[in-house]
Each structure stands twice: as structure tokens, then as C-alpha cells.
Structure 1
Amino acid sequence: MHHFTYGWLTPVLSYVMACVGSALGLRCTVRALAASTPGSRRNWLLTAALAIGSGIWTMHFVAMLGFGVSGSAIRYDVPLTVLSLLVAVLVVGAGVFTVGQGSSRVSYLLMGGLGTGVGVAAMHYIGMAALRLHGGVDYDPVLVGLSVLIAVAAATAGLWAALTVHGAAGATAASLVMGLAVSSMHYTGMAAVSIQLSPGRAVLSGATATEFIFPLTVVLGSFLFLTSAFVALSPTAQQRRESESAVQRLHDVEAHGVEMAP
């Protein structure tokens, strides 16, 4: 069993995807907290859930592109793989909405971090349940528990950063730390894996990584980068208020000018 079929390409790329998803999700959460209307807040939180959920899913399966088992081919059950993505988005979404809608920051932060962390862990282990190979997969319960704790701690720290860290430098640092923690959770979970091979000639069910995982990863990665560009270029609530105030002042000046004209 090995994780570096393509060298350091997949670990580094998976870390980048985790950082992009984390950065986008955290910025959307900040935008939600500053939103002036319930509808705008809801839309920002939905985008945050999609960003974090799809980011961690993409991180997991990019890393899994480098996973191999000597003596067995590897396939992925398509419905379970899709389910892992949906679970990530839904459970992470519940955690993000908890933080975004709560008025008591500490209690809602802890509940949101717990929900988001459980979503990260659930995505990972449902994704692992989709694995098909000639043999059985067992887990070290201690390392599994540690991976879940890392996921919860990472999610809580990331959401805390979204609430308290201001400025581009702080947001970048927060996303780098959260990306590192999510990657650490993944490889801790993979360290818990042991495989008992049962060599056979039967054709494995499911799709190969190239047939299914890679195309879906490209689609989600493109979504993350395009949405990141949109969020970066869209004005913040403060900028919109300043713009509206400037327009109003201009209208007032024009109105007074018309009144004073002979």
C-alpha cells in the first residue's frame, strides 16, 4: 500500500485544493456575517458550504489518485463516491449555517466546528467505503478517532479565524492552516488503514479513478477557482454601503444645485 504513485504531485495538489476550498468557504462565511439581508446571508452561506464541502472532497480524491495497492487493481463505487460529496456539502453546510445564523459566537462556533468536522470525517470514510479492491480493508480505531478529532479541531479553528481574523494576510494564513489540518486528517485516516489481500481474477465493480474521479475532480476544481475569482472581485458589504453613500451624496449635491439655480 502506498500513497505516492505520482510522487509529491498528488499530495501537494490536494493540499492546494484544500486551501482554496477553505479560503473560499471562510471568505463566504465572513461575507454572510456582514450581509444586510437574510437572503444575501443565506446565499453566502450556501456558497461557503459548497466551497468547503467540494474543497475537502476534491482534496481527498486528488490524494487518492496517488493511492495504490500492490497486487490489486482499485475501483470506486460511483453512487457511494457521489454520496460522500453530498454528505460533505450537507453536513458542512449545517455547521456553517450554525455559525452564520447564531448570535452567541462561542456556543455556535463550537457547534458549527463540531458539525463541520464531522462532515469532513464522514466524507473521508464514506469515500473510503467506496473503495473496491481484491481484499478487505480494516482500520485502527485509535487513528480513526484521532483523524476525527483533527477534523473537528481544524473546522473549529477555521471558523474561528473567519470570525476574528481580518485582512488578506490573516485570511490567507487561516486558509493555509486549515488546508494543512484537513490534509493531516486525510493522511491520519489513511495511516489507520490496513489491507488484507485476497488475490482473485474476478472483475472489480465500479469505475477507475481515471474514468470517474479525475473528471469530477477537474469540474469541482474549476468551480472552486472560478467562484474564488467571483468572490474576490465582488464588492463587500462595506464597499457597497460606501458606494451607495457616495451616490446619495452626489444626488443630494445635484438636487441642491438645481434648487439654487435661477
Structure 2
Amino acid sequence: MLEIDHFSHGLLTPAVAYVMSFTGSLLGLRCMARARTGTARDGWLIAAAVAIGGTGIWVMHFIAMLGFAINGASIRYDVPITLLSALIAMGVVWLGLGIAQQRTLGPLGLFIGGAITGAGVGAMHYAGMYAMKSDAAIGYDLWIVALSIVIAVVAATAALWFTLHVRGTLATIGAALVMGVAVSGMHYTGMSAMHVREAQHLHPPTGAGAMQLLTPLIVGISLVTVLLLLHLGSTDVNEENADTSRASRSATYWPTRD
């Protein structure tokens, strides 16, 4: 067996990865607060999916991967599959948010959306791992893989619940902190499933190096995050009025009983 190092740059990469996951989650929750007002709802849903799926999940994953190394082996990345993994992350979050927001489904929508989003996040993670090519033979412990998917589904369901119910600045920050821990926990659980060994007949991998590929992608999505932050700062939302409006609309679907 070859030795795997998840922290080749020390605690720098996991710390920065967590900060990005927290930032993306925080922005996504604030976008959902805007979506609850009913103004440009679809646009804010897309913005939330980019923030949570792109920054909070995908950027977190690949910043953490910058600290990943296999001692005695080289690593390259398949560019199209890496890009596909980013689209998967944002797409499943958008789908999950949309399903969870469907009042006709009631509480069931939260669990359906959480299951789809969590499974999609797992698919994003392992698509990103599949994009990683090496001259070492890579395998996975299926039990730990299954555990990472369960964590992803639970974390996604909790995140969707936060987007529906969290109100106020302090509560939003607290929820984003929890979401960052959940995303990071899923990532490192999934990574712990990997094992590698020497392979005599594998050719040197082709593709882009980690810094060559990931740096421009991470910088690009981070710039989108900054622009989204600026846009959020230029808009205002009265969450109390939004909640009142939302409650009156919900009464149409969930009439109270005497």
C-alpha cells in the first residue's frame, strides 16, 4: 500500500476549504431569504444553488483536494469530468431547493429534496475523484462510501430545512457554520474510503495538474461569489413581512382545523 496524505499543506487547505463552505452556505441562505419574498424567486433560487453547490460544496471539495497527495505517485485531473462535477453540484442543489419549496408536497418535499440533493452531492464527490488520474491503483472501501452518502443525504436534508426556516442574522450564521461542518465531514469521510497501491503496468497519467486546473476554476467561482455578495449587499429584504406573506400563502394549502 502507498501512503496517502490528505494534509500535504498542513491545516491550510482544510481551513480554507471550511471557510469557503461556510461562505457559500451563508450566501445561499441569504439568497433563499430573498427568494421567500416572492420577488425574482427563480433568480434567487439559481443564485442560492450557485452559492451552496458551487462555492459551499464544489469549491470546498477541490480546495481540500489541493492538499491531497499520494506519496510516490503522480496525480492529474481530467478537465471535462472535473467541470461536470461542478455542474452536478449546482444542479442537484437547485433541484433540491425547488422540490423542498413545493408546498403541495408538504413535509415530504423536504425529504425528497434532501435525498436527491444528498445523492447528487455524493455523485459530485466521486465524479471529482474519478476525474483524478494517477499511476497508482486506486480502490474504495464500499462501506465507507455508503456512509459518506448517508452523511450527504442527512446534511442535505438539514441544509434544505435551514433554507426554509432559518430567520435572522445570528441564526443564519449558525446554520452556515453547521452546514460547513457537514460538507467538510462528508468530504473527508469519502476520502477516507480511498486506498492505493503500486501498479506495475499503469502509464503515467495525463491531464492537468492540480494547481494548473483547479486554481482558475476556484478563482472563477470565487469571483462569482464576491459578485453575489455585492448584489446581496445592494438589496434589502424584510424577512418579517416575507414570513407573513409566506404564511398567508401556505394557509391556502394547509388550512387550520378548529
TM-score (norm 1): 0.85
Tell me whether 40-49 or 179-188 shows the greater mean CA deviation. 40-49
| Conservation of the 8 A alpha-carbon contact between 1:114 and 1:155 | yes
Distance 1:78 1:104 in 2: 38
Query: Superposed, which structure 2 residues align to 1:92-171 within 5 Å?
Result: 92-171=93-172
1-structure distance, mates of 2:160, 2:234: 22
Aligned residues of 2:134 and 2:204 also touching (Cα < 8 A):
no
Per-residue deviation, residues 3-31 of structure 1 (Å, max 9, x unmatched): 11111000000001111111112222232
Structure 2 residue runs of 5 or longer lacking an equivalent are 243-258
Q: Which residue of 1 aligns with 2:51?
A: 51
Identical-pair percentage: 44
Q: 2-side partners of 1:118 and 1:26: how far apart?
A: 21
Aligned length: 238
From 34, 38, 43, the counterpart of 1:35: 38
Whether 2:66 is the aligned partner of 1:65: answer: yes
Q: Supply the distance in 2 between the matched residues of 1:167 and 1:200 (Cα, whole angstroms).
A: 58
**Which structure 1 segments of 5+ residues have no match?**
242-262
Report the equivalent of 2:213. 212
The letter of the residue matching 1:164 is H
Distance of aligned partners of 1:31 and 1:105 in 2 relative to their CA distance in 1, 3 Å threshold: farther
CA contact (8 A) 1:32 1:100 kept: no
Is contact 1:35–1:237 with CA below 8 Å preserved after alignment?
Answer: no
- Contact 1:28–1:48 (Cα < 8 Å) also in 2: yes
Answering whether residue 26 of structure 2 is matched by residue 23 of structure 1, we say yes
The residue that corresponds to 2:15 in the other structure is: 12
Counterpart of 1:252? Answer: none
Question: For residues 14-52 of structure 1, what are the alpha-carbon distances to aligned partners after superposition, in whole Å with 9 as ceiling and x for unaligned?
Answer: 00111111111222223212214xxx1111111111111
**Could you tell me which amino acid in structure 2 is paired with residue 121 of structure 1?**
G
| Structure 2 CA distance for aligned equivalents of residues 139 and 128 of structure 1 | 11
Q: For the structure 1 residues 153 and 240, does the alpha-carbon distance in structure 2 shift closer, same or farther, using more than 3 Å as the test?
A: closer
The code of the aligned residue for 2:44 comes to W
**Cα distance in 2 for residues equivalent to 1:183 and 1:25:** 17
CA distance in 2, matches of 1:105, 1:228: 31
Deviations 1:194-245 (A, max 9, x none): 112225794421100111111111111222133123213311156999xxxx
* Contact in 1 for aligned 2:33/2:237 (Cα 8 Å): no
Q: In structure 1, what residue type is equivalent to 2:50?
A: L
Highest Rg: 1 or 2?
Answer: 1
Once residues 121 and 229 of structure 1 are traced to their aligned partners in structure 2, the CA distance between those partners, rounded to angstroms, is: 31
C-alpha distance in structure 1 between counterparts of 2:191 and 2:29, whole Å? 26
Q: Which has the higher helix share?
A: 1
Aligned mates of 1:143, 1:238 — CA distance in 2: 41
Cα deviation digits, residues 44-90 of structure 1 (max 9, x gap): 11111111111211000000000000111110001110110111111
Do 1:88 and 1:120's aligned partners in 2 also have CA atoms closer than 8 Å?
Answer: yes
- Confirm or deny: 8 A CA contact 1:71 1:199 kept in the other structure: no
Measured in 1, the distance between the counterparts of 2:123 and 2:202 equals 32
